A and B are shown apart, each in its own frame.
Chain A
Amino acid sequence: MQKNSYNLSIQVNYTEQDLILKLKERDTRAYSYLYDNYSAALYSIILQILHETELANDVLQEVFINIWRKIESYDATKGRLFTWMLNIARNASIDTLRSKEYQNSRKNQEMTENVHTKTAGLIHLPDIDNIGLVKILGKLKIEFRVLIELAYFKGYTHEEIAEIEGIPLGTVKTRIRSALLQLREYLQ
């Protein structure tokens, strides 16, 4: 298991298997450990999607409550615990991003911006903090970067992206796959 410097509680070492077992038994100490170890990493992803601390705090709370409620359904054969949590965090963030209230509150800011214009992805890029995946994204070619930004951080489907970018669906799919392969190399 990844050790990190953000653990503020008394260090108890769990293997990933142990941790999952304890979580499924609804052991609050294990849950506290989970929070101490992973909340900062997940918070970073949430912030990268939402860019607003208040909203990100609420989403992080929602995410950890969902982890607590849904831990029964976590299946270790399908991926690591962190991957599962990361996807919960990303989905919750994108739901919030898409929710009507949020859209409304941002309306004034985005008045001039139409997501169905070709430059939607580009306009958002300079806003992004220089952290995490976003930082690595910066190394990608611009056409790859825009696609990952739209797919991963904005949660658009391949079909929506094809429409936004005005390129064929097949091309969207191949380019995203190539972008991801490059991303993998940068992560290593």
Chain B
Amino acid sequence: MNIQQYISSGIVESYVLGLAAKEESEEFEKICAEYPEVKEYREAFERSLEKTAMDHAVLPPATVKSRIFAEIESEDQEGSRPTLIRQVPLTAKLRTGSWVRWLAAASLLLLIGSTALNFYFFSQYKEYISKYDELVTNQNQMAAVNLDLQTKLQGYETAFDKMRDPSMSLVKMTGTGSHFASLTTVYWDTHTKDVYLLVNHLPQPAADKQYQLWALVDGKPVDAGIFDMQEGFTFVRMKNIPVAQAFAITLEKKGGSAAPTMDAMVVLGKVTG
């Protein structure tokens, strides 16, 4: 037999992919056992097939694995449990009449049937319980995420409403000295004199420090409140300031200071108009 010709006939690929006819497969297995080069060629194809399948793998949902393990575990338990048939004594007393025997046989069948059904329903029940628990957990997680998102959205909406209020006057505060990258904006309500602070960019302070906003009134600093940096977006309401010529932020010890540490000034902005 010309082995090269046999190999290049496509039989190897056909066999591996399960497309060969029964006789072809049987013949192939014999030839494979006899000629190591055929086996080698087969293994090379199997490996490249395996590699392709691995490269294009698609992760199944995690629940499939738990379903499989639940099923094989319940199979194992059923296998080790003594069967009911062995426990029911079939004594000679049943020979009293053919109808009695018939009835006993029928009830035994019913018993076996209902036991099987019980097994079936119980495993179904177990499966549904675990599915239900999974759903409840998912639902709780989603509700928590939803609440979180709603809170965030409300915050954004409030901030957005304030920002587009036409009575707001804006004071852009740019970084001083080495803080040139820092930038904040004061939104100052010209009617109510309420002050809101938008953090465009400020580095996160150390754990024992806090930023403090000051209003400069006739050359004197007036405390306008401390603030914390929030995750994502900081737009906070500060103290009400009736008059000011400028605003500044300094980095103070946690809780703020009575007077600003002037060399810890981060941003400064003059009120225009």
Binding site for B on A (CB under 8 A): 2, 4, 6, 26, 28, 31-32, 35, 39-45, 47, 56-57, 60-61, 64-65, 68, 77-80, 82-83, 86-87, 90-91, 131-133, 135-136, 151-152, 158, 176-178, 180-181, 183-184, 187-188
Q: B16 touching A79 by the CB < 8 A rule? A: yes
Count contacts between A and B, CB distance < 8 Å: 122
Q: B53 touching A86 by the CB < 8 A rule? A: yes
Write 6 A-B pairs (CB below 8 A) sorted by A numbering. A43-B59, A65-B72, A82-B49, A176-B10, A177-B11, A184-B45
Which residues of chain B come closer than 8 Å to A4, judged between CB atoms? 54, 57
Shortest Cβ distance from residue B223 to the other chain A in the assembled complex, whole angstroms: 54
Which residues of chain A come closer than 8 Å to B71, judged between CB atoms? 61, 65
CA distance A183 to B50 in the complex (A): 14
Additional 9 contacts, C-beta under 8 A, given A44-B58, A60-B60: A2-B54, A43-B58, A43-B59, A61-B68, A79-B16, A80-B43, A180-B14, A184-B45, A187-B45
A79 touching B42 in the complex, CB below 8 Å, given contacts A184-B48, A187-B52: yes
Q: A2 touching B50 by the CB < 8 A rule? A: yes
Quick check: is B36 within 8 A (CB to CB) of the other chain? no
Interface residues on B, range: 35 or more
Shortest Cβ distance from residue B6 to the other chain A in the assembled complex, whole angstroms: 12
Quick check: is B8 within 8 A (CB to CB) of the other chain? yes
Which residues of chain A come closer than 8 Å to B18, judged between CB atoms? 87, 90-91
Which residues of chain A come closer than 8 Å to B9, judged between CB atoms? 177
Quick check: is B164 within 8 A (CB to CB) of the other chain? no
Shortest Cβ distance from residue A60 to the other chain B in the assembled complex, whole angstroms: 5
